[in-house]
Structure 1
Amino acid sequence: MTPHIFPKMPVALLLLVSSALTIMAGTLVGPSLPALNLQFDNLELVSLLLTLPSLAVVLTAPFVGTLTHKLGLKPLFLIGLLGYGVAGSTGLWLDSLPLLLVGRFVLGMSIAIIMTLSSTLVSNLSSGRGREKLIAYQSVAMNMGGVIFVGVGGYLADMHWRLPFSVYLLALLVLMAAVVVIPTSEKPAQKAKVVVTKQQWLEVMPIYMAGFVMMVLFYMIPVMYPFVVTEMLDARPTQIGMSLALFSFVSGAASMLVPRLGRRFNEYQIIAIAALSFTVGHGLISVAASWLGMAIGGCIIGVGFGLLVPALNKGVAACSTPESRPQLMGGFVTAFFLGQFTSPLASNLFITSGAQSAFMVGSFIAFTLAVLLLVLPQVARFMRYRGSVNEY
């Protein structure tokens, strides 16, 4: 029987704060973009300040596992926090847009390290129901961090465009705490070669693919939802921001359901439930003609996302060993952010007649994914059964 282990509270809190930092990093400076454009007069490059970190995560995360084996988990985690604090805060003192873009790319590399290794530490330092609870808390922290930090970023941007960059310095406080509370013995594969078996890759690939598709669909909310409510309801920016904050809050609350659902359903079934939530939520937004309909649709999507992230995390953890976990978690982070980076392009391709129509296409894709997640494991189980019968 798997023991139920939950890490000591200081360690758990540090991992939750680290996870919150990764989600808010890209969007924190969003409210400063208009002022940044006035400062540098280059809308194309200024817009990259928002998207470049995600690209850097996609390019960096696959190599975090290898770096972990060479440097050790704790040293690399500390490097990630240092890079996050220094590179993220470059807007406080740099006056060169190209150098700011370099800083944003280094920030993305640091996010890849922190997100991969915080998830690895969550799985390595816990087990059983303790792991389920910690993964759920991690998802809550990520969602609540997004709500809080985006609000703080908007407040600071009203005073000066440089001030939101100061929030990244929080990582340096987390760094000092991590030096003390992260166990120095937590280097499970430092002296070993990267060991990921073919079976582990086969088990984790469906999780990666489901995560990528679901992230493309989820990021239709920040990408397309503002256009839909503006087009349909003439929404103001404040109303849009409050709606997005509500969806994140609902998502965080839904994450707490995962430990209980995990006692009755496996990871694939929970991801399928999340996909069905996306099916309903996207479908409602595609036909809604009022704020109530739009809000209900967005909240249902939020519920699905709240179930999705812990289930994906738990699935990768279940497929991995302490030795292979950094590399497999790196693959998960790559799929996660690749979906986020791809979503704007995919969303435009989904449009058939107005921004609202993209959500109908998204609803169909989510339903197809849910069916596949529910049916394919049964087919695989049947094929294994037939194979075992034929042996006799």
Structure 2
Amino acid sequence: MSTARGLRGELDHDPDTTPAPRPAVLAVLLFCSTLTVMAGTLLVPVLGVMREDLAIDSTSAGLVLTAHGLSIAVVGPFAGRLMDRFGLRGPLVCGLLLYAVAGGAGLVTTSFTALLISRFLFGAGAAAVFTGTTVALLTLYRGSARDRIVGWRSTAISLGGIAWPLFGGALGALSWHSPFAVYLVGLPAGIAVLILLPRTPPSSRGTARAPGGTRALLRSPRLLRLYAVSLIGSLLLYVLAVFVPQRLAELGVERPLLVALYTMTTSLSGSVVGLCYAKARARLGYTVLLRTAAAAWALALLVAATAGQAVPLLAAPALFGAGMGISVPALTVLIGENAPPGSRARATSLAGSAAFTGQFLAPLLFGPLAAAASIRTAFLVAVALAATVPFVLTQRRLGNA
């Protein structure tokens, strides 16, 4: 069996057997899905101002942007385990409340250490939000409806990546603290989930628990390779997010609102591609989709490394966003559907762990490289990393583990 057929085999026969939930439920879940991308992108426009005010270097400033990723990576599997055992609604509501409180703490935080601690706590809430919204959509929809909904989810996330940085850029004109107020939207979102989300039975109810739990998931060759692609894509996205503002500064573009427009371009292209995802999925296998996404990432990073003016540099976030618009829904469905019975939330949470570990590692790995060599060199190394994705996908068949 070919790799593409191996990826398609289990999923193509999934029937549309589940009645669609109320539109209000879908709207709430799609909105909450945007909160995970808002976690970091909201602060991108004020990153330079924050760095100067707190007197920290670029690597430390990057950690403010990505510290929550480490918390998601660590807390995510525990959140997934709770959801597998007790259902989605309670853990998701608690996660939204913690998201709001810890995220909003940046309004009054004046030291780097306190800010970093609040970002770690914030990440614990974001872990439950990421896992809960993803699993809810995979649980409530089936078959072609699921392909359509995960495409819409990708579009919603991308549109959030447009709206939230614009809020951050506009509020950043007041102070670098002001954008943290937007995180308080988690409070009404939690109330809406509590009222509207139907009670979903624990995924472990009525099924045999997967032997070995999380360790068994990490021994699955197929899941491991999908997690690897998720980690690489997320790491490269944050390389772009951390270093494009610095590239723009080298080219004389430093105003927060203008920097936000570049971040918005990533999300705009991703939202357009997300709307087309269901049609692309009907024609192409998952392996082709993921290879296409990797090619878009590599080309985007190459543009970021070589563009000598601000206008051509705009192509970098646009291309990368298109790749994310393809990869996010494809990985979401593949990971959710290939989880063992009773382990969907844990499998999904590990995808979050992989993705947000990539976010956390981006400034740690590429910050020192950029400081020792140059930002362009960092981007060129990122191009080489993107080129490894087809190797990850084809080195071993991604059929049933």
TM-score greater than 0.5 by the shorter chain: yes
Q: In structure 2, how many angstroms separate the alpha carbons of the residues matched to 1:119 and 1:315?
A: 12
For residue 289 of structure 1, what is the amino acid of its counterpart? G
Q: Is the 8 A contact 1:216 1:346 kept in 2?
A: no
Alpha-carbon separation, structure 1, partners of 2:149 and 2:382: 31
Instruction: Tell me if the contact between 2:166 and 2:261 (Cα under 8 Å) persists in the aligned partners.
Output: no
Contact 2:265 2:318 in 1 (8 A): yes
Percent identity (aligned): 25
- What do residues 10-57 of structure 1 show as CA deviations (whole Å, max 9, x unaligned)? 111111111111111234345556776788x56478775433222211
Among candidates 106, 128, 131, match of residue 116 of structure 1: 131
Change (3 A) 1:70 1:127: closer
Question: TM-score, normalising length from structure 1?
Answer: 0.85
SS at match of 1:257: helix
How many angstroms does 1:299 deviate by?
A: 1.7
For residue 235 of structure 1, what is the aligned residue in structure 2? 253
Closer, same or farther: CA 168–279 of 1 in aligned 2, 3 Å: closer
Superposition map of 1:146-225 within 5 A: 146-189=161-204, 194-195=209-210, 198=216, 201-225=220-244
Once structures 1 and 2 are overlaid, which stretch shifts more, 313-322 or 330-339?
A: 313-322
**Are 2:24 and 1:10 aligned?**
yes
> 1:369-388 to 2 correspondence within 5 Å?
369-374=389-394, 376-377=396-397
Change beyond 3 A, Cα 1:38–1:205: closer
User: Secondary structure, in 3 states, of the residue corresponding to 1:175?
Assistant: helix
Work out which structure has the larger RCO, using CA pairs closer than 8 Å and 6 or more positions apart in sequence: 2
> Are the counterparts in 2 of residues 49 and 104 from structure 1 also a CA contact under 8 Å?
yes
Residue 277, structure 1, aligned to residue 289, structure 2: no
Unmatched 5+ stretches in structure 2: 1-12
Structure 2 residue identity aligned to 1:236:
E
Which residues of 2 match residues 1-392 of structure 1 at below 5 A? 1-4=13-16, 5=18, 6-31=20-45, 43=56, 49-92=64-107, 100-189=115-204, 194-195=209-210, 198=216, 201-231=220-250, 233-237=251-255, 238-320=257-339, 323-348=342-367, 354-374=374-394, 376-377=396-397
What do the CA deviations read for 1:258-304 (whole angstroms, capped 9, x no partner)? 21121122323211110111222223333333344322233222211
Change (3 A) 1:228 1:180: same
CA drift of 1:358 comes to: 2.8
- Aligned residue pair count: 379
Change (3 A) 1:373 1:349: farther
Distance 2:317 2:202 in 1: 41
Distance 1:331 1:56, change over 3 A: same
Call closer, same or farther: CA 1:376–1:201 in 2, change over 3 Å.
Answer: closer
Alpha-carbon distance between aligned partners in 2 of 1:42 and 1:196, rounded to the nearest angstrom: 50
Q: Which structure 1 segments of 5+ residues have no match?
A: 385-392
Amino acid at match of 1:334: S
> Deviations along 1:42-81, whole A, 9 cap, x unmatched?
6478775433222211221122222224443211111111
User: Once superposed, what is the RMSD of the aligned Cα atoms?
Assistant: 3.1
In structure 2, the CA distance between the partners of 1:82 and 1:192, relative to structure 1 (3 Å rule), is farther
Q: Which amino acid aligns with 1:358?
A: A
What secondary structure, in the 3-state scheme, does the structure 1 residue paired with 2:40 have? coil
State the AA in 1 paired with 2:236.
L
Q: Distance in 1 between matches of 2:368 and 2:176?
A: 33
Paired amino acid for 1:274? A
